[in-house]
Chains A and B, each alone.
Chain A
């Protein structure tokens, strides 16, 4: 059980205290439950993991750990650069009370990290990949009840990632995981529950899928709002008349940039106006029909829909229903 009681966190900046990154978070994370932390970049995922792992302290509030909690894995920090991998490994085994089985643990770490003779070289000569391999092996060697993982499955090359994921699967049952990862599949595979970090607040979901859905819905709404607030110059550049720019403000939007940076058009549909404007700019209506055939009705009144449209291939990529509580993706499984 990890009890997070009303924590606040902000970092010092050059101009005094910075923005609140975590703004009053209270959570009870039960034992033996794998939890995924979701949020966009800068939402405070790493900060929260560092606080849970005890690397950093909250500005206000307290965290009570009644179990053995690991340091955030996969950061590659906490290794003394001037000492060798072996010396660092010995140190960590010693502080975590593995004095008696030190030799076994060192052998295990050496085998798992697969860094060869570099194990007896100073850490400063290591590449980033070697560092994270070593640290991952270190955190597995020490017995913890809760492992904290910050993007650890992204460390190293493909074969090491597979090995790391296998090691994680073995942990399940013995220990639990609290992890942050960008890959949706990783989160779905390992985690049962989810925490969505948004604007300094934490939202708990018993089911990770609910958390992911809520997160993506929010991301998309933001994306639409951002697009709506973009200036009219951008619209004119896209060939919209002034009249239609007004329609845009009523909820119709066509613009020239996509969610992933590649040229796309986002169409925010509110009834049949969408079709009219789509016609005016010469959009291929056949694609709309295609989507309709997929089982979604594009035209019912007052139901805003969002379509990502890729002009280079002249294809619609995804369709999201913003108004209903669910998020639907037609052709691509995730916005990533």
Chain B
């Protein structure tokens, strides 16, 4: 019994593992190359500027009551949050195989910390982007901060769920990763980032609304504009129901296949 009493509790161990992993991942991400942190932030900025140029060539000024620049920026940020969290999480197990030499580090820990770190990086990036945009005097105003946070967290959770599920499936069936690249490409166009969902006719509109990313993105836009005409049938419950159940499925997969994820 004496032996047991000096052992740390599982919760304390997990928290210290998460903290250590977070700091380690942050160092790796931010020191990956020369001014890696700058590129992390420039990447979404460059994509947004490129698309804005494209839109201005088409003389589209506003989108359902919202300035086109803001409309696109928010949509893209939301989508980018999902894919970045998702992809980082998906590759977490593979990238951290060396760490499983320490029995305290479980594959699921690496996925969760990556989601946390990536959300953190994206939050800082997008906050800076919003500051830049308001300095440039574009009409941006956060009207509903709570809704913004809810939508933002919902999208990040969606990325985590996706990452948790596919971090397991990719390890078990490596071919899936190649297929995913094909399927993710149209998702960009089906998430209301470039093309407004409102412009999609029935019955395709209803099908499109099955995509939970759209819900997150539209709520994010709504929180930044009083006059934004929002697509009907939007539901936070759907967004969170989808993302939380995918997280639960992902966690269950990690429990079930925990031993299969560690390569000898």
Query: Which A residues have a C-beta under 8 Å from some C-beta of B?
Result: 1, 11, 31, 50, 53-57, 66-69, 71-72, 75, 77-83, 87, 90-92, 94-97, 99, 145
Assess the A71–B16 pair: CB atoms within 8 A: no
Query: In the assembled complex, how far is the CB of residue A14 from the closest CB belonging to chain B, in whole angstroms?
Result: 14
Within 8 A of A (CB), among B1-52: 3-4, 7-8, 12-13, 16-17, 19-21, 23-24, 27-28, 32
Query: In the assembled complex, how far is the CB of residue A2 from the closest CB belonging to chain B, in whole angstroms?
Result: 11
Extra pairs beyond A57-B259, A75-B101, A95-B20 (6, CB < 8 Å): A55-B262, A67-B7, A83-B24, A94-B23, A95-B102, A97-B13
Contacts of A11 in B (CB 8 A): 264
Within 8 A of A (CB), among B64-110: 98-105
Query: Which B residues have a C-beta under 8 Å from some C-beta of A?
Result: 3-4, 7-8, 12-13, 16-17, 19-21, 23-24, 27-28, 32, 98-105, 258-259, 262, 264
Query: In the assembled complex, how far is the CB of residue B248 from the closest CB belonging to chain A, in whole angstroms?
Result: 23
The contact of B104 among A1, A56, A80, A95, by CB within 8 Å, is: A95
Given A95-B16, A97-B13, A97-B16, CB of A77 within 8 Å of CB of B23: no
How many residue pairs, one in A and one in B, have C-beta atoms under 8 Å apart?
75
Assess the A78–B102 pair: CB atoms within 8 A: yes
Contacts of B24 in A (CB 8 A): 80, 83, 87, 91
Could you give 26 example pairs across A and B, Cβ below 8 Å? A1-B3, A11-B264, A55-B100, A55-B101, A56-B262, A66-B3, A66-B4, A67-B7, A68-B7, A72-B101, A77-B98, A78-B98, A78-B99, A78-B101, A80-B24, A83-B27, A90-B23, A91-B21, A91-B24, A92-B20, A94-B16, A95-B102, A95-B104, A95-B105, A97-B16, A99-B19
Assess the A71–B28 pair: CB atoms within 8 A: no
The contact of B16 among A31, A54, A68, A99, by CB within 8 Å, is: A99
Query: In the assembled complex, how far is the CB of residue B174 from the closest CB belonging to chain A, in whole angstroms?
Result: 13
The 7 A-B residue pairs with the shortest CB-CB distance, nearest first, are A54-B103, A78-B101, A94-B20, A57-B259, A95-B20, A91-B24, A95-B17
Contacts of B99 in A (CB 8 A): 78, 80
Describe B's contact surface by its main secondary structure.
helix
Given A91-B20, A95-B20, A99-B16, CB of A82 within 8 Å of CB of B103: no
A77–B13 CA distance with the chains assembled, in angstroms = 22
Assess the B3–A69 pair: CB atoms within 8 A: no
Q: Which of A80, A82, A145 has the most B CB atoms < 10 Å from its CB?
A: A80
Across the interface, name the chain B residue whose C-beta is closest to A52.
B103
Q: Which of A78, A94, A95, A96 has the most B CB atoms < 10 Å from its CB?
A: A95
Query: In the assembled complex, how far is the CB of residue B116 from the closest CB belonging to chain A, in whole angstroms?
Result: 16
Query: In the assembled complex, how far is the CB of residue A168 from the closest CB belonging to chain B, in whole angstroms?
Result: 20
Q: Which of B8, B27, B28, B258 has the most A CB atoms < 10 Å from its CB?
A: B27
Query: In the assembled complex, how far is the CB of residue B264 from the closest CB belonging to chain A, in whole angstroms?
Result: 5
A83–B28 CA distance with the chains assembled, in angstroms = 7
Contacts of B262 in A (CB 8 A): 55-57
A235–B6 CA distance with the chains assembled, in angstroms = 65
Assess the B102–A92 pair: CB atoms within 8 A: yes
Query: In the assembled complex, how far is the CB of residue A150 from the closest CB belonging to chain B, in whole angstroms?
Result: 12
Given A97-B8, A97-B12, A99-B16, CB of A71 within 8 Å of CB of B23: no
A54–B13 CA distance with the chains assembled, in angstroms = 15
A72–B102 CA distance with the chains assembled, in angstroms = 9
Contacts of A145 in B (CB 8 A): 3
A83–B20 CA distance with the chains assembled, in angstroms = 14
Query: In the assembled complex, how far is the CB of residue B5 from the closest CB belonging to chain A, in whole angstroms?
Result: 11
